[in-house]
């Protein structure tokens, strides 16, 4: 009997084309977004940017929050409160000896963290201690001192300093000035997004008009070179770049005082040309102040103080000065009346009615007499050394004179020195004594 053949494999059933297939999840090129909650510092950055704070405020607040967390051994801020904040403020005041404004700046960063990010109740932070900031009078230059400092500056730095004094602008307002905000026809400068997110207009100094025109032409040439090199963009505020994609390559949005080098924008990561660094102008002002011989602590903001004070001295209305400076309150502008010769601060000392003549200190330099040079420790050390040497020589000579006796041969061989006129001998000790 022959074996039965092996059964054949069943045929594959035919699948008609009208079979309904249930597709799986849609395939997309974007990775699935993580449901992880953002970290604390990322939450702080988002809260700052939502409120439109500047990038300087963002860096400052992030720095203080990091210091706060590291001071308490990496504890989460949600586990801490007002006692830990006051402990950090006490450390800043007692150990680090910072100013009251620095303490309040750190406290503002921590209050922003707890109220805006962690959403603490206001009553939970009522025991926080604010430092009282003392009232300070601004440093003001005279007209002659201002002229002397500006005379020792040259080039672009001098043009920037003229805008500080001639228009009462802040340092960052000068550096962030754009080409479109200089109005040569109306002789005005429009300052955008100044302190407090406010705009204002200030007069364009006649002395700076020609220099600004040449500076803008220089910016145009530099912008064309950047475009040829594949760059040429600039930072735009408020997402204007998404609305107008090519607006960041327009000349009128360029900074009037651009940086010499290209830099990477920390937010967009694009390599482009930003405005000049503030330390360049501050260093030039310090150098010019030393050359001019002005013995004051002069900064870039000192020119703004001097602008307001000199305008008041010329009779300008204080309300007009308040608008030019962009002050919110009139009391802030009133502080510049402290150097005027008229008004409540223009008082005269009662001692000025006495006829005492000039009151000079001891050994003060005058036109016909030089100041007396006081001896120093080096002179005292030299004088003591020479005194010791001379006294040793005299003490050795006395016994020799006694041992010589009256022998004529000994006197001829060892003649005695004439010690009667030793006071007239010129020695280094006498020179030091005469000088001192």
Partners of 189 in beta bridges: 182, 202
Clarify whether 299 is annotated catalytic: no
Clarify whether 71 is annotated catalytic: no
> φ, ψ for residue 257 (rounded to 5)?
-120, 80
CA–CA separation, 379 and 383 (whole Å): 6
Yes or no: say if 221 and 261 are a contact pair by the CB < 8 Å rule: no
Clarify whether 304 is annotated catalytic: yes
Yes or no: say if 340 and 309 are a contact pair by the CB < 8 Å rule: yes
CA–CA separation, 117 and 184 (whole Å): 46
Clarify whether 178 is annotated catalytic: no
Of these residues, 170, 176, 254, 305, which one is catalytic? Answer: 170
Of these residues, 158, 304, 305, 310, which one is catalytic? Answer: 304
Clarify whether 341 is annotated catalytic: no
Of these residues, 61, 114, 165, 336, which one is catalytic? Answer: 336
Query: Which residue, 93, 92, 94, is CA-closest to 68?
Result: 92
Q: CB burial class (10 A; 0-12, 13-18, 19+) of residue 18?
A: exposed
Of these residues, 45, 152, 195, 379, which one is catalytic? Answer: 195
DSSP line for 241-281:
HHHSTTGGG-GGGSBSSB-SS-EE-TTT--EE--BPPHHHH
Report the relative pairing of strands 271-272 and 188-191 from DSSP bridges. unpaired
Please give the sequence-ordered ranges of beta strands (E in DSSP) within 120-197, or none if there are none: 182-183, 188-191
Of these residues, 327, 338, 383, 404, which one is catalytic? Answer: 327
Clarify whether 261 is annotated catalytic: no
What residues act catalytically?
A: 170, 195, 301, 304, 327, 336
């Amino acid at each position: 009997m022959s074996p039965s053949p092996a059964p054949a494999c069943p045929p594959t059933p035919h699948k008609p084309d009208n079979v309904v297939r249930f597709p799986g999840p849609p395939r997309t090129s974007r990775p699935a977004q993580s449901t992880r909650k953002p970290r604390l510092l990322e939450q702080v950055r988002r809260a700052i940017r939502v409120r439109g704070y500047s990038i300087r405020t963002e860096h400052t607040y992030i720095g203080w929050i990091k210091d706060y967390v590291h001071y308490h051994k990496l504890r989460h801020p949600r586990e801490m409160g007002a006692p830990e904040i006051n402990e950090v403020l006490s450390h800043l005041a007692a150990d680090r000896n910072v100013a009251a404004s620095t303490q309040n700046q750190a406290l503002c960063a921590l209050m922003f963290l707890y109220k805006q990010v962690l959403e603490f109740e206001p009553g939970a932070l009522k025991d926080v201690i604010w430092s009282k900031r003392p009232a300070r009078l601004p440093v003001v230059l005279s007209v002659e001192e201002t002229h002397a400092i500006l005379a020792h500056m040259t080039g672009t730095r001098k043009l920037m300093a003229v805008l500080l004094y001639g228009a009462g602008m802040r340092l960052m307002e000068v550096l962030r000035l754009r080409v479109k905000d200089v109005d040569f026809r109306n002789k005005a400068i429009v300052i955008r997004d100044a302190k407090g997110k406010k705009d204002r207009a200030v007069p364009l100094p006649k002395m700076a008009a020609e220099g600004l025109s040449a500076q803008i032409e220089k910016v145009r040439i530099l912008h064309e070179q950047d475009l040829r090199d594949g760059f040429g963009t600039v930072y735009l505020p408020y997402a204007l770049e998404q609305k107008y994609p090519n607006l960041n390559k327009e000349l009128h949005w360029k900074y009037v005082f651009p940086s010499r080098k290209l830099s990477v924008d920390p937010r967009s990561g694009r390599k482009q040309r930003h405005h000049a660094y503030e330390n360049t102008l501050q260093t030039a002002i310090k150098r010019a102040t030393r050359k001019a011989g002005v013995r004051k602590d002069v900064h870039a903001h000192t020119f703004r103080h001097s602008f307001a004070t000199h305008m008041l001295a010329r009779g300008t209305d204080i309300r007009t000065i308040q608008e030019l400076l962009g002050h919110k309150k009139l009391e802030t502008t009133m502080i510049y009346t402290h150097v005027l010769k008229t008004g409540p601060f223009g008082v005269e000392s009662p001692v000025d009615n006495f006829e005492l003549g000039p009151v000079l200190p001891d050994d003060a330099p005058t036109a016909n007499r030089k100041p007396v040079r006081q001896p120093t420790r080096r002179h005292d050390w030299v004088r003591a050394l020479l005194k010791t040497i001379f006294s040793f020589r005299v003490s050795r000579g006395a016994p020799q004179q006694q041992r010589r006796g009256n022998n004529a041969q000994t006197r001829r061989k060892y003649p005695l020195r004439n010690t009667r006129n030793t006071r007239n001998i010129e020695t280094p000790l006498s020179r030091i004594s005469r000088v001192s």
